[in-house]
Amino acid sequence: MSVTDSIISTNPATGETIWEAPVGDADAEVTAARGGWAGWASQSSSYRIETMRRFANIVRGKIDEFAALISRETGKPLWEARTEVEAVVAKVDISAEAYFERTPSRKKEGALSEQNALRHKPHGVLAVLGPFNFPAHLPNGHIVPALIAGNAIVFKPSEKTPAVGEFLVGCYREAGVPENVVRLLIGGPEQGKKLAGHEGIDGLLFTGSVRGGLALHQQFGPRPDKILALELGGNNPLVVWDSPDIEATAAIVVQSAYMTAGQRCTAARRLIVEEGQHEPLIEAVCKIIDRMIIGPPDADPAPFMGCVIDNESAEAVTDGFLDLMMKGGNPIAHLRRVEDDKPFLTPGLIDVTSVERRADEEIFGPLLQVVRVPDFTSALVEANNTRFGLSASLLSGSPDLYNRFWANIRAGIVNWNKPTNGASSASPFGGIGFSGNHRPSAYYAADYCAYPVASAEAPAVRASIAVGLKDPEAEV
């Protein structure tokens, strides 16, 4: 929640205020980063990587404190927040390896001691706009590769999770990243717009909604001089076909749809099943839903699912469920508010097979839509029936079906007998269509954090023109 001159962060599970700070100044933060960038870029890559490794050690030493803060500010279970902090630590070694593999320096010998060289340069000052669902891991996934490449950063965390953003920046600085190399901009949408439109940035790295991504894409359209990396959402299909283990399949369905209360861009939104063979699976999924513990982060026993980020989000997800019902959807497990004044939701499961003209939208919460189809060809058509293209998974015992699925599905992440979510940072991460702009992050983040420079180099000036000149003797 924000007021005119400050940002206030609350614990969504309890409503208590946990953090407050004044709104920042985008101009001041960009100016500071521009002043710090050259010195950082002039350091060797080994120096920058060593600094990032100190950062990893500092975070490792604060894992309990960091995880507790993430839980308090997002409402996600403590065990899940801890895995997020572990991902922050792991990102450093992955990014260092990717930097050397994706942005190498190379020289090839030519004639007369000439060389063709390839090296990479940082862009300069990069803005990072972070999301609320993984407020440490996802912005860190942009920031660490950008710092290794030699960029300076202005980071604006989500106004819903600013305390985590401040904690993350504090860890960079404790590791020895100069204060003017990583800047923290506190604010809401207005500050985000000022930062994105600032002449002093050389690019923007964004993780968030498709609506925000589309607005940025339009804004940056006339500016080919500025790099724009967009990691957006998805309307991700999970296809189940001839899977022999119903219980294990149901567990993967639940993990795909309801982890992080459905607030993952890779969460399964559509469960595509074979007509007439779907009932045992649906029954098994409902049994897990009935056993699911939903509660605050520190509850004992530990919850599988916490709340969504705030009451406004809970209302939007509830409205999405009701809208599908009003259009003819058949509810299997009702999505409900657990408490009127807190954003806890029960998992929703709704059959939308008979709903015509379903909106191709990402409902960002614990809601899974079931679509029954007559054959596998129809399953592929339904899976690709989206403007998004982030993640897709097939649960099946047939390698032939998976080969067909992999060849025909349009997505940046295609899995077999695994959840749609939980992608590895050691691989590229990103989607096609409205899920991003073909700049996959994670391992390939190095690709947009530095630009290649090709050089033809010779130790001495040697040149002659053999064609197209008049003979000087003929002129005499």
- Hey, is 458 helix, strand or coil? coil
Is residue 231 part of the annotated active site? The answer reads yes
- What span, in angstroms and rounded, lies between the C-alpha atoms of 140 and 130? 9
Q: Which of 84, 159, 231, 362 is catalytic?
A: 231
Which one is catalytic: 265, 274, 362, 449? Answer: 265
| Dist. CA 415–CA 430, nearest whole Å | 14
Instruction: Tell me which residue of 37, 343, 19 sits closest to 177, measured CA to CA.
Output: 37
Name residue, tokens 């657990």: 338
How are beta strands 236-240 and 391-395 bridged, if at all?
Answer: parallel
Using alpha carbons, select from 49, 12, 25, 95 the residue that is nearest to residue 312. 12
Which residues fall within 8 angstroms of residue 252, CB to CB, at 6 or more apart?
393, 395, 417, 418, 419
Asked whether 430 and 436 are in contact (CB, 8 A), the reply is: yes
Residue among 287, 242, 260, 283 at smallest CA distance from 131: 260
3 state DSSP class of 217: helix
Catalytic annotation present for 265 = yes
Task: Give CA–CA dist 447/450, Å, rounded.
Answer: 6
Among candidates 272, 281, 269, which has minimal Cα distance to 324? 269
3-state helix, strand, coil in the chain (%, to 5): 40, 20, 35
The set of catalytic residues is 231, 265
